[in-house]
Homo-oligomer: A and B are copies of this chain.
Amino acid sequence: MNDSAATPKQILEALLFAAEEPLSSRRLAGMLEEVTPSVIADLVRELNADYLRETRAFQVQEVAGGYRLVTRAEFASWVGELRASGASPRLSQAALETLSIVAYKQPVTRAELESIRGVAVEGVLKTLVDRELVRIAGREEGMGRPLLYGTTDHFLEYFGLPSLDSLPRPDELEILFADRERQEELQLEDELAAPAFGEHVAADEE
């Protein structure tokens, strides 16, 4: 069918096509031989350019420390019909909040999660462990040695994240904290002048 020898790009495509999980560039490079991980990234770019030009219905996605082939979003309604039975339910607000804390604070104990959310999280944690979005990451040293939780590779896959670093940076927080320091200075000045912490005084300022 094809007389010429298989090219690295074709082999890469065959591997991505046949894989059931994202393949890291290291693993791909190991199987391709004579190819370094950085070449893999170039080949992936070439493949995606091919697919775009040839209006293929899928593309290579960089996710969870590797690459995988996925359908393009514009075919979601057709493919969704096909895969409807396998779809997992959307995560609840409680699950998403808990998950975002786990993602940023990991490894993190249940007590810390509850202190930040202000509510019990055990039911939510169970769901997240069940859905393999959260894993047990060890135990904290010290009293009671509570379990520590962290996110899984499936977490990255589920949210289409190449790595944990690609989580949205909490820039807002930095702004808030900078703000807080300024506020504290102001407040201190206020305090020195004011007789009491009267909130009516504060309200009047508005």
Q: Are A50 and B58 within 8 A (Cβ)?
A: no
Which residue of chain B lies nearest to A120 when distances are taken between CB atoms in the complex? B187
CB of A175 within 8 Å of the partner chain: yes
Instruction: From B11, B148, B190, give the contact of A57 (CB < 8 A).
Output: B11
Taken together, the copies of this chain in the complex come to 2
Q: Are B6 and A122 within 8 A (Cβ)?
A: no
Provide the A48-73 mask, 1 if CB < 8 A to any CB of B, else 0: 00101011111000000000010110
Collect the chain B residues with CB atoms within 8 Å of residue A57's CB: 6, 10-11, 13-14, 17
Instruction: From B10, B50, B122, give the contact of A176 (CB < 8 A).
Output: B122
- Which 3 pairs of residues, A with B, have the shortest CB-CB distance? A14-B75, A14-B57, A13-B57
